[in-house]
Copies of this chain bind each other. A is one copy, B any other.
Protein backbone atom coordinates (compact mmCIF):
# COMPACT_ATOMS: atom_id res chain seq x y z
CA UNK A 1 0.00 0.00 0.00
CA UNK A 2 1.33 3.40 -0.89
CA UNK A 3 0.59 6.77 0.64
CA UNK A 4 -1.37 7.65 -2.44
CA UNK A 5 -3.47 4.51 -2.22
CA UNK A 6 -3.85 4.98 1.49
CA UNK A 7 -5.26 8.42 1.00
CA UNK A 8 -7.73 7.27 -1.60
CA UNK A 9 -9.00 4.20 0.14
CA UNK A 10 -11.28 4.69 3.09
CA UNK A 11 -11.95 0.98 3.12
CA UNK A 12 -8.51 0.52 4.58
CA UNK A 13 -10.13 1.20 7.87
CA UNK A 14 -11.53 -2.28 7.80
CA UNK A 15 -8.08 -3.82 7.99
CA UNK A 16 -7.64 -2.43 11.48
CA UNK A 17 -7.52 -5.47 13.64
CA UNK A 18 -8.95 -5.32 17.09
CA UNK A 19 -6.22 -4.94 19.67
CA UNK A 20 -7.27 -8.16 21.32
CA UNK A 21 -6.48 -10.17 18.23
CA UNK A 22 -3.21 -8.33 17.71
CA UNK A 23 -2.07 -9.20 21.19
CA UNK A 24 -3.08 -12.82 21.13
CA UNK A 25 -0.54 -14.98 22.92
CA UNK A 26 1.88 -17.22 21.10
CA UNK A 27 0.36 -20.59 20.30
CA UNK A 28 0.03 -22.38 23.57
CA UNK A 29 1.74 -25.60 24.18
CA UNK A 30 -0.81 -28.39 24.48
CA UNK A 31 0.73 -31.25 26.40
CA UNK A 32 -1.98 -32.69 28.65
CA UNK A 33 -1.00 -34.09 32.03
CA UNK A 34 -0.43 -37.82 31.82
CA UNK A 35 -0.24 -37.73 28.05
CA UNK A 36 3.15 -39.36 27.82
CA UNK A 37 2.66 -42.58 29.73
CA UNK A 38 5.28 -45.12 28.77
CA UNK A 39 7.05 -42.83 26.32
CA UNK A 40 10.59 -41.62 26.77
CA UNK A 41 12.15 -38.58 25.13
CA UNK A 42 15.89 -38.05 24.94
CA UNK A 43 16.74 -34.36 24.79
CA UNK A 44 20.11 -33.35 23.45
CA UNK A 45 21.43 -30.08 24.86
CA UNK A 46 20.52 -28.25 28.07
CA UNK A 47 20.21 -24.81 26.55
CA UNK A 48 16.93 -22.96 26.72
CA UNK A 49 15.20 -25.21 24.17
CA UNK A 50 16.29 -28.39 25.93
CA UNK A 51 15.39 -27.11 29.37
CA UNK A 52 11.95 -26.00 28.22
CA UNK A 53 11.34 -29.38 26.61
CA UNK A 54 12.40 -31.25 29.74
CA UNK A 55 10.33 -29.06 32.02
CA UNK A 56 7.18 -29.39 29.96
CA UNK A 57 7.58 -33.13 29.42
CA UNK A 58 8.17 -33.79 33.10
CA UNK A 59 5.19 -31.61 34.02
CA UNK A 60 3.01 -33.70 31.73
CA UNK A 61 4.31 -36.95 33.19
CA UNK A 62 6.59 -38.02 30.37
CA UNK A 63 9.84 -39.79 30.97
CA UNK A 64 12.74 -37.73 29.71
CA UNK A 65 16.45 -37.16 30.07
CA UNK A 66 18.70 -34.31 28.93
CA UNK A 67 22.21 -35.04 27.71
CA UNK A 68 24.45 -31.98 27.95
CA UNK A 69 28.02 -31.96 26.68
CA UNK A 70 29.27 -29.11 28.84
CA UNK A 71 29.48 -28.93 32.61
CA UNK A 72 26.60 -26.50 32.99
CA UNK A 73 23.08 -25.78 31.79
CA UNK A 74 22.09 -22.70 29.78
CA UNK A 75 23.98 -23.15 26.53
CA UNK A 76 24.67 -19.75 25.04
CA UNK A 77 22.70 -18.12 27.85
CA UNK A 78 25.88 -17.31 29.73
CA UNK A 79 26.36 -14.84 32.55
CA UNK A 80 29.88 -14.46 33.94
CA UNK A 81 30.92 -13.18 37.35
CA UNK A 82 34.12 -12.61 39.23
CA UNK A 83 36.09 -15.85 39.62
CA UNK A 84 34.40 -17.73 36.78
CA UNK A 85 36.66 -19.60 34.39
CA UNK A 86 35.82 -19.03 30.76
CA UNK A 87 37.14 -21.63 28.37
CA UNK A 88 37.16 -20.93 24.66
CA UNK A 89 39.04 -23.76 22.99
CA UNK A 90 42.63 -23.30 24.15
CA UNK A 91 41.97 -19.83 25.51
CA UNK A 92 41.34 -19.84 29.26
CA UNK A 93 40.24 -16.64 30.94
CA UNK A 94 39.48 -16.02 34.59
CA UNK A 95 36.79 -13.42 35.05
CA UNK A 96 38.29 -10.61 37.04
CA UNK A 97 35.20 -8.71 38.18
CA UNK A 98 34.70 -7.84 41.83
CA UNK A 99 32.32 -10.05 43.76
CA UNK A 100 29.25 -7.83 43.80
CA UNK A 101 25.80 -8.87 42.67
CA UNK A 102 25.57 -6.11 40.11
CA UNK A 103 28.94 -6.78 38.49
CA UNK A 104 28.28 -9.41 35.88
CA UNK A 105 28.17 -9.69 32.11
CA UNK A 106 25.64 -11.45 29.90
CA UNK A 107 27.92 -12.79 27.16
CA UNK A 108 25.05 -14.46 25.36
CA UNK A 109 21.51 -13.10 25.14
CA UNK A 110 21.05 -9.94 27.15
CA UNK A 111 17.59 -8.56 26.45
CA UNK A 112 14.01 -9.77 26.37
CA UNK A 113 11.52 -7.87 24.18
CA UNK A 114 8.13 -7.30 25.77
CA UNK A 115 6.36 -9.38 23.13
CA UNK A 116 8.45 -12.50 23.68
CA UNK A 117 5.53 -13.88 25.61
CA UNK A 118 6.56 -17.50 25.80
CA UNK A 119 9.87 -16.69 27.48
CA UNK A 120 8.27 -14.04 29.68
CA UNK A 121 5.67 -16.62 30.63
CA UNK A 122 8.41 -18.74 32.21
CA UNK A 123 9.88 -15.68 33.92
CA UNK A 124 6.48 -15.07 35.45
CA UNK A 125 5.83 -18.70 36.35
CA UNK A 126 9.25 -19.05 37.96
CA UNK A 127 9.18 -15.66 39.74
CA UNK A 128 12.24 -14.38 37.93
CA UNK A 129 12.46 -10.70 38.83
CA UNK A 130 12.85 -8.45 35.81
CA UNK A 131 14.14 -4.94 35.32
CA UNK A 132 13.98 -2.72 32.28
CA UNK A 133 16.80 -3.05 29.79
CA UNK A 134 17.48 0.32 28.19
CA UNK A 135 18.14 -0.26 24.52
CA UNK A 136 17.48 3.21 23.15
CA UNK A 137 19.16 5.94 25.18
CA UNK A 138 19.15 9.32 23.47
CA UNK A 139 22.17 10.37 25.49
CA UNK A 140 24.30 7.60 24.00
CA UNK A 141 26.74 8.27 21.18
CA UNK A 142 26.96 7.78 17.45
CA UNK A 143 30.50 7.68 16.15
CA UNK A 144 31.65 7.50 12.58
CA UNK A 145 35.35 7.89 11.97
CA UNK A 146 34.65 9.58 8.61
CA UNK A 147 32.13 12.15 9.83
CA UNK A 148 31.96 15.11 12.18
CA UNK A 149 35.73 15.27 12.51
CA UNK A 150 35.69 11.74 13.86
CA UNK A 151 34.01 12.93 17.04
CA UNK A 152 31.01 11.18 18.55
CA UNK A 153 27.68 12.97 18.61
CA UNK A 154 24.74 12.35 20.87
CA UNK A 155 22.00 10.06 19.56
CA UNK A 156 19.36 12.68 20.32
CA UNK A 157 21.26 15.21 18.25
CA UNK A 158 21.36 12.97 15.21
CA UNK A 159 17.77 11.80 15.59
CA UNK A 160 16.37 15.27 16.07
CA UNK A 161 18.26 16.73 13.15
CA UNK A 162 17.42 13.95 10.70
CA UNK A 163 13.72 14.29 11.50
CA UNK A 164 14.03 18.03 11.20
CA UNK A 165 15.70 17.94 7.80
CA UNK A 166 13.40 15.25 6.44
CA UNK A 167 10.41 17.29 7.57
CA UNK A 168 11.80 20.47 6.09
CA UNK A 169 12.46 18.88 2.73
CA UNK A 170 9.05 17.24 2.53
CA UNK A 171 7.35 20.44 3.64
CA UNK A 172 9.11 22.34 0.87
CA UNK A 173 8.17 19.75 -1.71
CA UNK A 174 4.54 19.82 -0.59
CA UNK A 175 4.57 23.59 -0.59
CA UNK A 176 5.90 23.59 -4.15
CA UNK A 177 3.13 21.32 -5.34
CA UNK A 178 5.43 18.40 -6.11
CA UNK A 179 2.97 15.98 -4.56
CA UNK A 180 -0.25 17.43 -5.89
CA UNK A 181 -1.12 14.20 -7.63
CA UNK A 182 -1.19 12.48 -4.22
CA UNK A 183 -2.53 15.24 -2.01
CA UNK A 184 -5.59 17.44 -1.85
CA UNK A 185 -5.32 21.00 -0.58
CA UNK A 186 -6.72 19.87 2.72
CA UNK A 187 -4.18 17.05 2.95
CA UNK A 188 -1.39 19.49 2.22
CA UNK A 189 -2.47 21.80 5.00
CA UNK A 190 -2.61 18.92 7.46
CA UNK A 191 0.71 17.48 6.37
CA UNK A 192 2.43 20.80 6.86
CA UNK A 193 1.00 21.05 10.36
CA UNK A 194 2.08 17.53 11.10
CA UNK A 195 5.59 18.04 9.74
CA UNK A 196 6.11 21.08 11.91
CA UNK A 197 5.37 18.96 14.95
CA UNK A 198 7.08 15.82 13.71
CA UNK A 199 10.29 17.56 12.77
CA UNK A 200 10.35 20.32 15.35
CA UNK A 201 10.19 22.99 12.65
CA UNK A 202 9.79 26.25 14.45
CA UNK A 203 9.65 28.91 11.81
CA UNK A 204 6.70 29.69 9.59
CA UNK A 205 8.95 29.35 6.58
CA UNK A 206 9.16 25.58 7.03
CA UNK A 207 12.85 25.54 7.82
CA UNK A 208 14.58 23.31 10.31
CA UNK A 209 16.70 25.63 12.39
CA UNK A 210 17.61 23.30 15.22
CA UNK A 211 15.53 22.24 18.17
CA UNK A 212 15.98 21.98 21.89
CA UNK A 213 14.98 18.33 21.45
CA UNK A 214 18.66 17.91 20.58
CA UNK A 215 19.66 19.49 23.88
CA UNK A 216 21.22 22.84 24.68
CA UNK A 217 24.70 23.96 23.83
CA UNK A 218 27.13 23.27 26.62
CA UNK A 219 24.53 22.04 29.08
CA UNK A 220 22.06 19.26 29.57
CA UNK A 221 18.78 21.02 30.17
CA UNK A 222 17.00 24.32 30.18
CA UNK A 223 18.31 25.22 33.63
CA UNK A 224 16.89 27.88 35.90
CA UNK A 225 16.45 30.75 33.52
CA UNK A 226 15.68 28.52 30.60
CA UNK A 227 16.48 28.44 27.00
CA UNK A 228 19.98 29.12 25.95
CA UNK A 229 20.91 28.03 22.47
CA UNK A 230 19.79 24.62 21.26
CA UNK A 231 22.55 22.48 19.86
CA UNK A 232 23.41 23.77 16.41
CA UNK A 233 22.07 21.45 13.73
CA UNK A 234 24.51 18.93 12.38
CA UNK A 235 25.47 19.37 8.78
CA UNK A 236 22.91 17.53 6.67
CA UNK A 237 25.40 16.36 4.08
CA UNK A 238 27.58 14.88 6.80
CA UNK A 239 24.54 13.13 8.22
CA UNK A 240 23.89 11.65 4.81
CA UNK A 241 27.46 10.53 4.26
CA UNK A 242 27.82 9.13 7.76
CA UNK A 243 26.53 5.63 8.32
CA UNK A 244 24.22 6.80 11.11
CA UNK A 245 21.09 6.37 9.02
CA UNK A 246 22.05 2.77 8.35
CA UNK A 247 20.43 0.72 11.10
CA UNK A 248 21.27 2.92 14.10
CA UNK A 249 18.80 5.68 13.46
CA UNK A 250 15.80 3.39 13.50
CA UNK A 251 17.17 0.62 15.70
CA UNK A 252 14.48 1.04 18.35
CA UNK A 253 11.84 0.80 15.63
CA UNK A 254 12.68 -2.82 14.90
CA UNK A 255 10.06 -5.04 16.46
CA UNK A 256 12.57 -6.98 18.54
CA UNK A 257 14.45 -3.88 19.67
CA UNK A 258 11.57 -1.60 20.59
CA UNK A 259 10.72 -0.63 24.15
CA UNK A 260 9.86 -2.13 26.57
CA UNK A 261 12.71 -4.66 26.93
CA UNK A 262 13.77 -6.54 30.05
CA UNK A 263 16.65 -8.31 31.70
CA UNK A 264 16.46 -10.59 34.72
CA UNK A 265 17.82 -8.85 37.80
CA UNK A 266 21.28 -10.25 38.57
CA UNK A 267 21.97 -11.83 35.20
CA UNK A 268 20.29 -13.58 32.28
CA UNK A 269 21.27 -16.99 33.67
CA UNK A 270 18.49 -16.58 36.22
CA UNK A 271 16.43 -18.28 33.51
CA UNK A 272 18.41 -21.53 33.08
CA UNK A 273 18.97 -21.58 36.84
CA UNK A 274 15.24 -21.47 37.44
CA UNK A 275 14.79 -24.46 35.17
CA UNK A 276 17.74 -26.25 36.73
CA UNK A 277 16.26 -25.82 40.19
CA UNK A 278 13.18 -27.69 39.01
CA UNK A 279 14.55 -30.29 36.58
CA UNK A 280 18.28 -30.36 37.21
CA UNK A 281 17.93 -34.02 38.20
CA UNK A 282 16.93 -34.85 34.62
CA UNK A 283 20.14 -33.39 33.16
CA UNK A 284 23.31 -35.44 32.64
CA UNK A 285 26.19 -33.00 32.35
CA UNK A 286 29.53 -33.73 30.63
CA UNK A 287 27.86 -36.12 28.26
CA UNK A 288 29.12 -35.74 24.70
CA UNK A 289 26.84 -37.22 22.08
CA UNK A 290 28.83 -39.58 19.82
CA UNK A 291 26.11 -41.11 17.69
CA UNK A 292 22.41 -40.61 16.98
CA UNK A 293 20.89 -43.93 15.85
CA UNK A 294 17.49 -45.25 14.90
CA UNK A 295 16.15 -48.44 16.48
CA UNK A 296 13.00 -50.47 15.90
CA UNK A 297 11.18 -48.61 18.65
CA UNK A 298 12.86 -45.26 18.51
CA UNK A 299 16.37 -44.01 19.09
CA UNK A 300 19.67 -44.94 20.61
CA UNK A 301 22.08 -42.18 21.64
CA UNK A 302 25.69 -42.99 22.32
CA UNK A 303 27.21 -40.60 24.76
CA UNK A 304 30.69 -40.32 26.26
CA UNK A 305 31.64 -38.42 29.38
CA UNK A 306 34.87 -36.49 29.84
CA UNK A 307 36.45 -39.49 31.58
CA UNK A 308 35.87 -41.49 28.42
CA UNK A 309 33.08 -43.65 29.77
CA UNK A 310 30.48 -44.52 27.17
CA UNK A 311 26.80 -44.69 27.86
CA UNK A 312 23.84 -45.74 25.76
CA UNK A 313 20.60 -43.86 26.19
CA UNK A 314 17.48 -45.12 24.46
CA UNK A 315 14.08 -43.63 24.00
CA UNK A 316 11.10 -43.26 21.72
CA UNK A 317 11.99 -39.81 20.45
CA UNK A 318 14.88 -37.39 20.39
CA UNK A 319 14.64 -33.65 20.63
CA UNK A 320 17.95 -32.47 19.28
CA UNK A 321 19.00 -28.88 20.06
CA UNK A 322 22.70 -29.29 19.26
CA UNK A 323 23.94 -26.33 17.20
CA UNK A 324 24.10 -27.33 13.55
CA UNK A 325 27.84 -26.57 13.16
CA UNK A 326 28.50 -29.14 15.90
CA UNK A 327 25.73 -31.54 14.96
CA UNK A 328 26.87 -31.90 11.37
CA UNK A 329 30.02 -33.76 12.53
CA UNK A 330 28.28 -36.26 14.81
CA UNK A 331 27.61 -39.67 13.22
CA UNK A 332 23.87 -40.13 12.79
CA UNK A 333 21.05 -41.91 11.03
CA UNK A 334 19.44 -38.80 9.63
CA UNK A 335 17.97 -38.72 6.15
CA UNK A 336 20.08 -37.05 3.52
CA UNK A 337 17.58 -34.20 3.36
CA UNK A 338 18.03 -33.56 7.07
CA UNK A 339 21.82 -33.84 6.75
CA UNK A 340 21.89 -31.33 3.94
CA UNK A 341 19.78 -28.90 5.91
CA UNK A 342 22.02 -29.24 8.96
CA UNK A 343 25.05 -28.74 6.79
CA UNK A 344 23.70 -25.55 5.26
CA UNK A 345 22.84 -23.65 8.43
CA UNK A 346 25.84 -21.54 9.31
CA UNK A 347 26.45 -19.73 12.53
CA UNK A 348 27.94 -16.28 12.84
CA UNK A 349 31.15 -15.12 14.50
CA UNK A 350 29.59 -12.91 17.14
CA UNK A 351 31.85 -11.78 19.91
CA UNK A 352 31.37 -9.86 23.12
CA UNK A 353 33.91 -8.20 25.36
CA UNK A 354 33.05 -7.06 28.88
CA UNK A 355 35.11 -4.65 30.97
CA UNK A 356 34.87 -3.74 34.60
CA UNK A 357 35.27 0.01 35.03
CA UNK A 358 36.66 1.46 38.23
CA UNK A 359 34.28 4.40 37.89
CA UNK A 360 30.96 4.87 36.09
CA UNK A 361 32.34 7.66 33.95
CA UNK A 362 29.54 7.33 31.40
CA UNK A 363 27.04 8.28 34.10
CA UNK A 364 29.16 10.74 36.02
CA UNK A 365 30.63 12.65 33.11
CA UNK A 366 28.01 12.29 30.40
CA UNK A 367 24.69 11.32 31.97
CA UNK A 368 24.56 8.13 29.93
CA UNK A 369 22.43 5.69 31.92
CA UNK A 370 22.26 2.40 30.08
CA UNK A 371 21.76 2.13 26.36
CA UNK A 372 24.11 1.58 23.47
CA UNK A 373 26.66 3.72 21.64
CA UNK A 374 27.53 2.93 18.05
CA UNK A 375 30.75 3.16 16.12
CA UNK A 376 31.98 2.14 12.69
CA UNK A 377 35.04 0.57 14.30
CA UNK A 378 35.21 -3.19 14.79
CA UNK A 379 33.80 -3.07 18.33
CA UNK A 380 30.51 -1.90 16.74
CA UNK A 381 28.78 -1.12 20.01
CA UNK A 382 29.42 -0.15 23.60
CA UNK A 383 26.69 -1.14 26.06
CA UNK A 384 26.40 0.72 29.34
CA UNK A 385 25.07 -1.37 32.20
CA UNK A 386 21.32 -1.24 32.76
CA UNK A 387 21.80 -1.97 36.43
CA UNK A 388 23.79 -0.72 39.41
CA UNK A 389 23.05 2.90 38.54
CA UNK A 390 25.09 5.29 40.70
CA UNK A 391 27.21 2.50 42.13
CA UNK A 392 30.96 2.96 42.15
CA UNK A 393 31.89 0.45 39.47
CA UNK A 394 30.17 -1.08 36.50
CA UNK A 395 30.56 -3.71 33.79
CA UNK A 396 30.45 -2.32 30.27
CA UNK A 397 30.08 -4.41 27.13
CA UNK A 398 33.01 -2.89 25.30
CA UNK A 399 32.44 -4.75 22.05
CA UNK A 400 29.50 -6.54 20.54
CA UNK A 401 30.48 -7.65 17.08
CA UNK A 402 28.33 -9.65 14.70
CA UNK A 403 29.61 -8.80 11.24
CA UNK A 404 31.78 -11.47 9.68
CA UNK A 405 35.05 -9.69 9.00
CA UNK A 406 35.48 -7.82 12.28
CA UNK A 407 34.21 -10.89 14.10
CA UNK A 408 36.89 -13.03 12.52
CA UNK A 409 39.58 -10.42 13.16
CA UNK A 410 38.79 -10.35 16.86
CA UNK A 411 38.25 -14.10 17.11
CA UNK A 412 41.78 -14.71 15.81
CA UNK A 413 43.39 -12.53 18.49
CA UNK A 414 44.59 -13.72 21.87
CA UNK A 415 42.43 -12.72 24.83
CA UNK A 416 44.88 -9.98 25.77
CA UNK A 417 45.02 -8.58 22.25
CA UNK A 418 41.24 -8.39 22.07
CA UNK A 419 41.02 -6.37 25.25
CA UNK A 420 43.78 -4.03 24.19
CA UNK A 421 42.27 -3.42 20.78
CA UNK A 422 38.76 -2.91 22.14
CA UNK A 423 40.06 -0.38 24.65
CA UNK A 424 41.88 1.49 21.92
CA UNK A 425 38.74 1.66 19.81
CA UNK A 426 36.67 2.76 22.80
CA UNK A 427 38.94 5.78 23.23
CA UNK A 428 37.34 7.40 20.20
CA UNK A 429 34.02 7.45 21.96
CA UNK A 430 35.27 8.12 25.45
CA UNK A 431 38.66 9.79 25.75
CA UNK A 432 40.34 8.27 28.79
CA UNK A 433 38.35 5.08 28.40
CA UNK A 434 41.25 2.62 28.60
CA UNK A 435 42.51 4.10 31.83
CA UNK A 436 39.12 3.68 33.48
CA UNK A 437 38.99 -0.05 32.85
CA UNK A 438 40.32 -2.43 35.45
CA UNK A 439 40.07 -5.64 33.48
CA UNK A 440 38.05 -7.46 30.87
CA UNK A 441 36.98 -10.77 29.46
CA UNK A 442 35.92 -11.81 25.97
CA UNK A 443 33.90 -14.52 24.31
CA UNK A 444 34.23 -15.41 20.64
CA UNK A 445 31.36 -17.84 20.22
CA UNK A 446 32.79 -19.23 17.01
CA UNK A 447 35.80 -20.52 18.93
CA UNK A 448 33.82 -22.46 21.51
CA UNK A 449 34.01 -26.14 20.47
CA UNK A 450 30.55 -27.01 21.78
CA UNK A 451 28.91 -24.03 20.06
CA UNK A 452 30.92 -23.05 17.00
CA UNK A 453 29.04 -19.80 16.61
CA UNK A 454 26.66 -17.43 18.32
CA UNK A 455 23.52 -17.93 16.29
CA UNK A 456 22.32 -19.20 12.94
CA UNK A 457 22.39 -16.91 9.99
CA UNK A 458 19.09 -16.73 8.17
CA UNK A 459 18.65 -19.90 6.19
CA UNK A 460 14.90 -20.23 6.20
CA UNK A 461 14.74 -23.08 3.70
CA UNK A 462 16.99 -25.34 5.75
CA UNK A 463 15.26 -24.34 8.97
CA UNK A 464 11.91 -25.32 7.45
CA UNK A 465 13.30 -28.80 6.77
CA UNK A 466 14.41 -29.19 10.38
CA UNK A 467 11.04 -28.09 11.70
CA UNK A 468 9.76 -31.39 10.28
CA UNK A 469 10.72 -34.48 12.23
CA UNK A 470 13.02 -37.01 10.61
CA UNK A 471 11.56 -40.26 11.88
CA UNK A 472 12.08 -40.25 15.66
CA UNK A 473 14.36 -37.21 15.46
CA UNK A 474 12.86 -33.81 16.28
CA UNK A 475 14.87 -30.64 16.15
CA UNK A 476 14.71 -27.51 18.26
CA UNK A 477 16.67 -24.41 19.14
CA UNK A 478 16.41 -20.85 17.83
CA UNK A 479 18.45 -22.07 14.84
CA UNK A 480 15.37 -23.55 13.21
CA UNK A 481 13.13 -20.50 13.79
CA UNK A 482 12.65 -17.03 12.40
CA UNK A 483 13.76 -15.78 15.82
CA UNK A 484 17.27 -17.03 15.43
CA UNK A 485 19.54 -15.67 18.20
CA UNK A 486 16.53 -15.01 20.46
CA UNK A 487 15.69 -17.16 23.44
CA UNK A 488 12.05 -16.82 22.42
CA UNK A 489 12.90 -18.77 19.30
CA UNK A 490 14.38 -21.55 21.43
CA UNK A 491 11.25 -21.69 23.60
CA UNK A 492 8.84 -21.68 20.68
CA UNK A 493 10.83 -24.32 18.84
CA UNK A 494 10.67 -26.59 21.88
CA UNK A 495 6.93 -26.05 22.16
CA UNK A 496 6.49 -26.89 18.51
CA UNK A 497 8.50 -30.10 18.83
CA UNK A 498 6.53 -31.14 21.89
CA UNK A 499 3.20 -30.49 20.24
CA UNK A 500 4.26 -32.66 17.31
CA UNK A 501 5.62 -35.45 19.47
CA UNK A 502 2.43 -35.44 21.48
CA UNK A 503 0.23 -35.49 18.39
CA UNK A 504 2.16 -38.42 16.98
CA UNK A 505 2.15 -40.21 20.28
CA UNK A 506 -1.63 -39.92 20.46
CA UNK A 507 -1.99 -41.05 16.86
CA UNK A 508 0.23 -44.10 17.35
Contact = CB atoms under 8 A, between A and B. Distances in A.
Contacts of A6: 165, 233-237
B482 A258 contact: no
A401 to B, nearest CB: 21
A123 interface: yes
Contact of A117 (B141, B220, B250): B220
Interface of A: 1-3, 6-7, 9-10, 12-13, 15-27, 113-117, 120, 123-124, 127, 130-132, 134, 136-139, 141, 148-149, 151-154, 156, 159-160, 162-163, 165-170, 172-174, 176, 178-179, 182, 187, 190-191, 193-195, 197-198, 200, 207-210, 212-215, 217-227, 231-238, 240-241, 245-247, 249-250, 253-256, 258-260, 262, 365-371, 386, 389-390, 431, 460, 464, 467, 480-483, 488-489, 492-493, 496
Contact of A464 (B17, B217, B225, B255): B225
Contact of A179 (B123, B167, B169, B221): B169
Contacts of A20: 365, 431
A7 B178 contact: no
B15 A369 contact: no
A21 B124 CA distance: 44
A274 to B, nearest CB: 13
26 contacts: A1-B208, A6-B233, A6-B237, A12-B233, A13-B238, A16-B148, A17-B231, A22-B154, A114-B369, A130-B390, A132-B386, A134-B259, A156-B255, A156-B258, A163-B250, A169-B173, A169-B191, A170-B170, A197-B246, A221-B483, A222-B255, A223-B483, A224-B480, A225-B467, A226-B483, A262-B389
Contact of A245 (B17, B198, B212, B365): B198
Contacts of A197: 245-247, 249-250
Contacts of A134: 132, 259-260
A467 B226 CA distance: 12
A166 B247 contact: no
A24 B219 contact: yes
B167 A178 contact: no
Nearest to A161: B6
B212 A367 contact: no
Q: Could you say how many copies of this chain the assembly holds?
A: 2
Contact of A200 (B174, B194, B250): B250
Contacts of A176: 178
Contact of A226 (B153, B162, B174, B482): B482
B198 A166 contact: yes
Contacts of A214: 255
Most B CB contacts (10 A, CB to CB) among A15, A241, A496 go to A15
Nearest to A252: B138
Nearest to A2: B207
Which of A134, A179, A253 counts the most B-chain CB atoms under 10 A from its CB?
A: A253
A224 B496 contact: yes
Nearest to A228: B482
A482 B225 contact: yes
A19 to B, nearest CB: 6
Contacts of A198: 162, 166, 245, 249-250
Contacts of A256: 221
Contacts of A114: 137, 139, 367-369
Contacts of A224: 467, 480-483, 489, 492-493, 496
A253 B163 contact: yes
Contact of A369 (B167, B225, B262): B262
Contact of A148 (B3, B13, B113, B262): B13
Contacts of A207: 1-3
Contacts of A234: 6, 12, 16
Contact of A232 (B12, B124, B187): B12
A23 B151 contact: no
Given A18-B151, A123-B390, A200-B250, 19 more contacts: A1-B208, A3-B168, A6-B236, A6-B237, A12-B235, A16-B149, A16-B153, A17-B231, A156-B258, A163-B250, A163-B253, A166-B195, A176-B178, A178-B178, A178-B179, A194-B240, A197-B250, A222-B482, A223-B481
